[in-house]
Amino acid sequence: MNIEKGFDKIVKTLRVMITDQPGYLGRLTTAIGSEGGNIGDIRLISSGLTHNIREITVYVDNDQHLEMILKAVAAVEGVIVEEVIDRVQQVHEGGKIAVRSRVEIKTIGDVRKIYTPGVASICRQIQQKPRLADTYTAIGNTVAIVTNGTAILGLGDIGPVAGMPVMEGKAVLFDHLVGISGVPILLRSKNVDHIVDTIWHLAPTFGAIKLEDIAAPDCFEIERRLVEMLDIPVMHDDQHGTAVVVLASLLNATRFTGTRLQNATIGIIGLGAAGTGIAKLLMAYGVKKVVGTDLNPGAMEMLQTLGGEPTNLAGVMERAQVVIATTGCPGLIKPDMVKQGQVILALSNPDAEIKPQDAMTAGASFAADGKSINNALAFPGIFRGALDARASRINNRMLIAAAKAIASHAEEGELVPGILNRNVHLAVAEAVARAAAETGVIKPRN
Ligand X SMILES: NC(=O)c1ccc[n+]([C@@H]2O[C@H](COP(=O)([O-])OP(=O)(O)OC[C@H]3O[C@@H](n4cnc5c(N)ncnc54)[C@H](O)[C@@H]3O)[C@@H](O)[C@H]2O)c1
The residues annotated with a catalytic role in the active site are 115, 170
Does the footprint of ligand LMR cover residue 349 (CB under 6 A)?
yes
86 is in an annotated binding site: no
Q: How far apart are the first and last CA of the chain?
A: 52
d(C-alpha 385, C-alpha 441), whole Å: 12
Kindly tell me which residue out of 72, 195, 273, 279 binds ligand X, with binding defined by CB under 6 A: 273
β-pair type (79-85, 181-186):
unpaired
Does the footprint of Mg ion cover residue 238 (CB under 5 A)?
yes
Site for ligand LMR in 164-193 (CB under 6 A): 166
Q: Select 45 or 162, whichever has its Cβ closest to Mg ion.
A: 162
The region of 52-60, 122-130, 264-272, 399-407 touching ligand X under the rule CB under 6 A is: 264-272
Does the footprint of ligand X cover residue 344 (CB under 6 A)?
no
Closest CA to 316 of 296, 297, 356, 343: 343
> Which one of Mg ion, ligand LMR, ligand X, none is in contact with 195 (Cβ closer than 5 to 8 A by kind)?
none
Q: Select 161 or 314, whichever has its Cβ closest to ligand X.
A: 314
Question: How many Cβ atoms are within 10 Å of 160's Cβ, its own excluded?
Answer: 21
Distances in Å between the alpha carbon of 57 and those of 5, 37, 41, 144? Answer: 17, 10, 5, 36
Nearest distance from residue 338's CB to ligand X, in Å? 16
Does the footprint of ligand LMR cover residue 79 (CB under 6 A)?
no
Q: Select 292 or 370, whichever has its Cβ closest to ligand LMR.
A: 370
Kindly tell me which residue out of 374, 386, 410, 441 binds ligand LMR, with binding defined by CB under 6 A: 374
> What is the identity of the amino acid at 333?
I
Kindly tell me which residue out of 332, 396, 430, 442 binds ligand X, with binding defined by CB under 6 A: 332
Does the footprint of ligand LMR cover residue 378 (CB under 6 A)?
no
Closest CA to 39 of 51, 49, 30, 50: 30
Site for ligand X in 351-380 (CB under 6 A): 370, 373-375
The region of 130-138, 214-222, 352-360, 370-378 touching ligand LMR under the rule CB under 6 A is: 370-378
Say if CB 189 and CB 200 are below 8 A apart: no
Burial tier of 77 (Cβ tally within 10 Å: 0-12, 13-18, 19+): exposed
d(C-alpha 286, C-alpha 99), whole Å: 43
388 is in an annotated binding site: no
Nearest distance from residue 151's CB to ligand LMR, in Å? 7
Tell me the residue number closest to ligand X, measured at CB: 272
Query: Which are the contacts of 360, defined by CB distance < 8 A and separation ≥ 6?
Result: 2, 3, 367
The region of 188-196, 238-246, 281-289, 431-439 touching Mg ion under the rule CB under 5 A is: 238-246
Does the footprint of ligand LMR cover residue 150 (CB under 6 A)?
no
Does the footprint of ligand X cover residue 53 (CB under 6 A)?
no
d(C-alpha 279, C-alpha 246), whole Å: 10
Say if CB 57 and CB 13 are below 8 A apart: yes
The region of 108-116, 175-183, 203-211, 320-328 touching ligand X under the rule CB under 6 A is: 320-328
Kindly tell me which residue out of 213, 294, 353, 369 binds Mg ion, with binding defined by CB under 5 A: 213
430 is in an annotated binding site: no
Say if CB 356 and CB 367 are below 8 A apart: yes
Kindly tell me which residue out of 39, 153, 283, 329 binds ligand LMR, with binding defined by CB under 6 A: 153
Sheet strands (E) in 328-415: 343-346, 366-369
b/e for 280-306, b at 16 or more Cβ within 10 A?
Answer: bbbbebebebbbbbbeeeebbebbeee
Say if CB 171 and CB 149 are below 8 A apart: no
Does the footprint of ligand LMR cover residue 19 (CB under 6 A)?
no
Secondary structure letter of residue 263 according to DSSP: G
β-pair type (79-85, 10-19):
antiparallel
Kindly tell me which residue out of 45, 74, 75, 295 binds ligand X, with binding defined by CB under 6 A: 295
212 is in an annotated binding site: yes
**Binding region for a divalent metal cation:** 212-213, 238
Interface residue list for Mg ion (CB under 5 A): 213, 238
Interface residue list for ligand X (CB under 6 A): 151, 153-154, 215-216, 238, 242, 269-275, 293-296, 299, 326-329, 332, 347-349, 370, 373-375
